[in-house]
Structure 1
């Protein structure tokens, strides 16, 4: 059974769409019931993917005219489960089912300093925050990291708008973000305990920042994040879920999530965020053949290494390095609550 904190749905018409960067599409939606979207909000869309209704979440990059125009930025994921492919296929005049703005990543007020860290398409969650801080006259730094400039959405706009407050790190230019140095700068500043960091991007990047933040004993509430739960230690592959209490096994394809596959098979499961943040879909692991690729930001590193539980919405099983020579798919045995 789903537990959903956003209960009302509406229609949204596509007013504009174009390319922001290589593989990134700008989509402007005009909702039937407009509500202004504050910085850090997202909208949920209900998409028909291969005959199944799927919920996907996208950050609101810009809210205009009291929420009558909401801009999204959608990256075409190489391992897309269908959502980004569907979004990249939208044209002006198309209609989608959508919620109003959902706030799960609010920008605070009153910090001495703000550091915004975006990895790749994670910038879509931070554009409005940076603009708000600029208008406030706040002390802030915007850190942008990506594989290549050609795939970094809003890069030129942000540099033009925020000037020397922007720090750019590009892998293919051999200028990579050093997480330890970044967090060390915060820890060594006079305003260390009054600095808030907001981050959005790949799980590995955010895990690294969280570890460095904890190692420097910085205040935990001052580190805030948004995630899309789409990146992991290994490429997505087919695997099997065994459910002994139901005497069933369910196949999970590489372009589906464990949660989606279980729901398609008629298995009732609890969920809310579907992004690996809330932990509502956490279940007990009984056995693993291969490795668990957790991909969430809810479980601690110690919990992940114990292989005792996982979050159904983003976790996967993978053969990984230990099973790379096996012809059998990875498998995980679970106990559902």
Structure 2
């Protein structure tokens, strides 16, 4: 996807670049036209991938009061489509194109109680919210979940800053988060708003329990990476018979990107599986669909013939007898047949 020239883009400069945790780079940017970033805000950044320009979104971990310095953090993804690799090459003095701070995940001030849940790199979207609530002396708890402490960015300073208001769950230490128990605790303590950002499995577990407990949908707010699913990303094929388009979607890129490169015009916006604008109609699938969005409900994912092209994928799932994918041929790609609006 080319950079949208109609957006409020500007030049930016890298001021600092240093590790924030294992595989996570802390990057401080100086925008050409400073603007304060509210909690939950993000910036879009132009990245160079294989000679083409694309766009990636990164949450603002913190910003100076006047917006003159904005801190983001980027995890080097194992299944990176190239954006995180590019961001990890940045050094102080490098220039890049970036937007003003954008807001899709606002913190509502005035709730009786807050529960903030961050899974892994999701802390980048949550940390600024916790800081604001601390300054306001609000009733809040910060729940930070990770696989290992060495991969949890800003952990030590968050523990120091938030004291007994932070709950740390570390898989490697045998203290994983029980999503059901978390939501049950919220339900039993009176009205509260829950904000979360993290892997899709964590988000789904919290959302399902929230729904099961009958808690108000408006009090559950979240932002997702749009890049984690139930299956490892693998290469598959997608075709649009009406347009005569057929292309391969590599494990390191999205179906939306592959279709755009093949000449299909797909309407899109967030590219994170949140807005649903890029939804396509599934005509047939030889394999399984790995829904990675948070736009469709669990019921819609089971029964609807639609999927979000920006994050969801097809996988060549094994048969019940353990044989490989739908054709029974080792290494065969899943084939997805779709139509677009």
TM range (shorter): over 0.9
Aligned to 2:273: 276
Q: TM-score with structure 1 length normalisation?
A: 0.96
CA distance in 2 between counterparts of 1:6 and 1:278 reads 20
DSSP-derived class of the 2:61 partner: strand
| Counterparts in 2 of 1:231 and 1:6: CA distance versus 1, 3 Å | farther
DSSP-derived class of the 1:126 partner: helix
Is 1:334–2:338 an aligned residue pair? Answer: yes
Q: Are the aligned partners of 2:3 and 2:55 in contact in 1 as well (CA < 8 Å)?
A: no
DSSP-derived class of the 1:28 partner: strand
DSSP-derived class of the 2:39 partner: coil
DSSP-derived class of the 1:47 partner: strand
Aligned to 1:53: 53
CA distance in 2 between counterparts of 1:321 and 1:136 reads 52
| Counterparts in 2 of 1:4 and 1:89: CA distance versus 1, 3 Å | closer
Q: Are the aligned partners of 1:232 and 1:293 in contact in 2 as well (CA < 8 Å)?
A: yes
In structure 2, the gaps of 5 or more residues are: none
In structure 1, the gaps of 5 or more residues are: none
Question: Which stretches of structure 1, 4 residues or longer, exceed 4 Å deviation after superposition?
Answer: 1-6
| Counterparts in 2 of 1:311 and 1:3: CA distance versus 1, 3 Å | farther
| Counterparts in 2 of 1:46 and 1:3: CA distance versus 1, 3 Å | closer
TM-superposition CA deviations, 1:85-116 (whole Å, max 9, x none): 11001111111111000000000111110000
Aligned to 1:209: 206
CA distance in 2 between counterparts of 1:5 and 1:91 reads 25
Q: Are the aligned partners of 1:4 and 1:272 in contact in 2 as well (CA < 8 Å)?
A: no
Equivalent positions of 1:98-113 (< 5 A) are 98-113=98-113
Aligned to 2:138: 138
Bigger shift: residues 47-56 or 35-44: 47-56
Q: Are the aligned partners of 1:4 and 1:271 in contact in 2 as well (CA < 8 Å)?
A: no
RMSD: 1.6
Is 1:246–2:243 an aligned residue pair? Answer: yes
Q: Which structure's relative contact order is higher, taking Cα pairs within 8 Å and 6+ residues apart?
A: 1
Aligned to 1:11: 11
Q: Are the aligned partners of 2:114 and 2:140 in contact in 1 as well (CA < 8 Å)?
A: yes
TM-superposition CA deviations, 1:292-318 (whole Å, max 9, x none): 111100011111112511001001111
Count of residues in Structure 1 that have an aligned counterpart in Structure 2: 334
